[in-house]
Amino acid sequence: MLQEYVPGHEYGVFYARLPGEARGRIFSITDKRPAVVVGDGRRSIEELIYDDPRAVALARIYCENLRERLEEVPAPGQRVPLGELGTHCRGAIFLDGHHLWTEALERAVDRLASAAEGFHFGRFDLRACSERALREGRFKAIELNGLVSEAAHVYDPSYSLLAAYRVLFRQWALAAEIGRRQRRRGYPGTGFRQVLRAALDIRRGVAAGR
């Protein structure tokens, strides 16, 4: 699979539109901050990685990413990104980005979502050259996660477990309401056996390492 390289800062924007409604809305915005180490003029990048309490957990991956720069000594205050992917498993920090919401952004995301007939619920991973560009609705989508995606801003370190669960409960209540409305509109549902079969298929795939 080939995908265009899209530079810029990454955001997760969770969108939902109730069936029968003309416009959807943004439910969540996540500001994804990639892992970095900060130079002190003395230690090499490799030493900074191993001395950082967060980066050391993924030291093998980061050292592989920066294998040609490991002996470089960054200047004091110089920030060295350890990766580009806005994912937790690569050390990215997720922050609540609700302050980035604008009418222009919501309309742009709504146009994007409406291009796929029948799409009502999911999280777009977007990249924009700046916060201003995102607010103005200027971005590129690099990924779409559907029903099983989540409002990733709940991983903001300032969120308590209870606060995170409250957001997720609202999210799943919204998903259930979309399902109910779709059933009333004549769309077939998924039976228990189908769900169980799909779950078992996934379990077997994980066990097989796929």
**Residue 21 CB partners (closer than 8 Å, separation 6+):** none
Cross-strand partners of 30: 12, 96
> Which amino acid is present at 59?
A
Q: What is this structure's pTM?
A: 0.82
Residue 2 above 90 pLDDT?
Answer: no
Element (H, E) at 203: helix 192-207
- Token pair 């969120």 is at which residue? 159
> Which amino acid is present at 37?
V
What Å distances lie between residue 205 and 1, 156, 191, CA to CA? 20, 31, 21
According to the model, what pLDDT value does residue 5 have? 84
- Ordered by start, the domain boundaries in the chain are 9-34+93-207, 36-83
Question: pLDDT, tens digit, for every residue of 56-68?
Answer: 988 998 999 899 9
